[in-house]
Chains A and B, each alone.
Chain A
Amino acid sequence: MTPHPIHEDEFQAWADGRLPAERQAQVESYLEQHPDTRARLQAYQAQNRALQSLFQPVLEEDIPEHLQELLRPAPLLRQRFLTWPWQSAAAVLLVLSGALAGWQAHTYLPSPSLAAALPRQAAIAHAVYTPEVRHPVEVGADQETHLAAWLSKRLGAPLRPPRLGAQGFELVGGRLLPGGQGPVALFMYQDGGGQRLTLYVSGEGSGSGDTSFRFSREGDVSVFYWVDGGFGYALSGTLDKASLGTIATQVYQQLEAR
């Protein structure tokens, strides 16, 4: 006679060979007397085996090129064939190459004038506008739709401020600035402690090649910047390099995801 009723969970565990030893004998003796239950559990075991056979070939397949390229990130940076959907793989590659190659990747990248001027312009804009108490931005985050539409129109491309709430920064708003040859959008973010970040977006990069993430320090201001798809981006702040880099990665990914 059975001291404990056998729970269905134990039948599942028996089928998977995971039943605790002390219950094994009791379940076995139950199954002796109930061949229909045994047949049912054996059917589950057959399912497990069949699923393993069915999908085993996937383990043996060659890893697709775009995933495999994660293995050799640096050479890809020289190539300009990056088109959707491989751009998001490139996001990883850029980060990987930066981390792995010790930021040396940029030595063989094109060095357009935008990329050269970007960190300095961005750091100046950051230094000028972030101390503002009453007028840090022209259009506040409460009018985010208007802000995005306005700046998109002026820069001639759809533009939406990334969301950095997960990193502790909320959008304050944005403004339009004069760049070297045209308009620039500046988005400002602030965390709970009043620390501010700015994202500088310039549309002047149409003649420039894409670049990897680069880092520059302009006085007290740290800047991560990159050129992608004709736009120059620069994230500026007085955070430490690692924290700013994490947020820059997030910005990059959100922009790429569009």
Chain B
Amino acid sequence: MEEAPLLAEIPRLRRYARALVGDRAAADDLVQDTLERAWSRRRSWQDDRPLRPWLFSIMHNLRLDQLRRPGIAPQPLDERIPEPGTRPTQSDALELADLAAALYRLPEEQRAVILLVALEDMSYDAIAQTLAIPRGTVMSRLFRGREHLRRLMAPESGVTHLRVVP
């Protein structure tokens, strides 16, 4: 593996990490760790496989390690200030800010799936592989996450009654 394709993936990795973690410095640390691990394992890499899913799965594993590591207390969700880097030029900037706030109130496992769909346009099967979970779990996290987000974004409407689908 050469370094150029790896470097080309940095912007995508940074976007996903920022969206997932919320904090800019912590997200970039995660990207750095991902690149290091990828580089150290480059010998086990076959060039004909797509690079991006591999990098995302490395990042996912590193993130799980971080979350499991004792001593680093997860930040309380409500105190986490997202740094999306929004350019507030439109009236919908307010809505984006609301979305950012709501996003970090989701469980991270739901957020991850939503982001891989929305930002990366990754197929459901590829997400299942990346996160090492069954496809059914991907779908249920996607559904629950989206519903959660929808309700957080429209609090005045209360809980939407879901119709049982025949």
Contact = CB atoms under 8 A, between A and B. Distances in A.
Nearest to A7: B165
Contacts of A54: 19, 84, 86, 96, 99-100
Given A18-B123, A88-B36, A48 B118 contact: yes
Interface size class of B (residues with CB under 8 A): 35 or more
Given A47-B99, A61-B14, A40 B150 contact: yes
Nearest to A39: B160
A51 B115 contact: yes
Interface residues of A, number: 49
Given A16-B117, A64-B28, A66-B32, A253 B165 contact: no
A61 B31 CA distance: 14
Contacts of B35: 67, 70, 92
Interface string B24-45: 0000110111011001100100
Nearest to A48: B118
Interface stretch (A137-145, A206-214, A242-250): A242-250
Contacts of B6: 70
A61 B85 contact: yes
Nearest to B96: A54
A28 B61 CA distance: 39
Contact of A95 (B40, B118, B160): B40
B54 interface: no
A242 B33 CA distance: 23
Nearest to A246: B43
B119 A51 contact: yes
In terms of DSSP, what is the predominant structure of the interface of chain B?
helix
B94 to A, nearest CB: 12
A253 B32 CA distance: 13
Given A58-B14, A96-B3, A48 B160 contact: no
B39 to A, nearest CB: 5
A95 B96 CA distance: 41
Interface string B1-34: 0010011001110110011000000001101110
Interface string A60-95: 010110110011000000000000010011011001
A251 B40 CA distance: 11
B118 A242 contact: no
B95 interface: yes
A48 B117 contact: yes
A12 B142 contact: yes
Contacts of A9: 139, 143
A100 interface: yes
B52 interface: no
A139 B146 CA distance: 57
Interface in B96-120: 96, 99-100, 103, 114-115, 117-119
A57 interface: yes
A47 B98 CA distance: 11
A249 B115 contact: no
A36 interface: yes
B11 A58 contact: yes
Nearest to B43: A246
A63 B11 contact: yes
A2 B33 CA distance: 50
B166 interface: yes
14 contacts: A9-B139, A13-B124, A43-B153, A47-B114, A51-B114, A51-B119, A54-B84, A54-B86, A66-B32, A67-B28, A67-B31, A67-B35, A71-B3, A88-B33
Given A55-B119, A58-B84, 19 more contacts: A5-B166, A12-B146, A13-B124, A37-B163, A47-B99, A47-B114, A51-B19, A51-B99, A51-B115, A54-B86, A57-B87, A61-B11, A67-B32, A71-B3, A85-B29, A92-B39, A96-B39, A100-B3, A249-B40
What are the 6 A-B residue pairs with the smallest beta carbon separation, nearest first? A57-B85, A51-B118, A48-B118, A58-B15, A9-B139, A54-B84
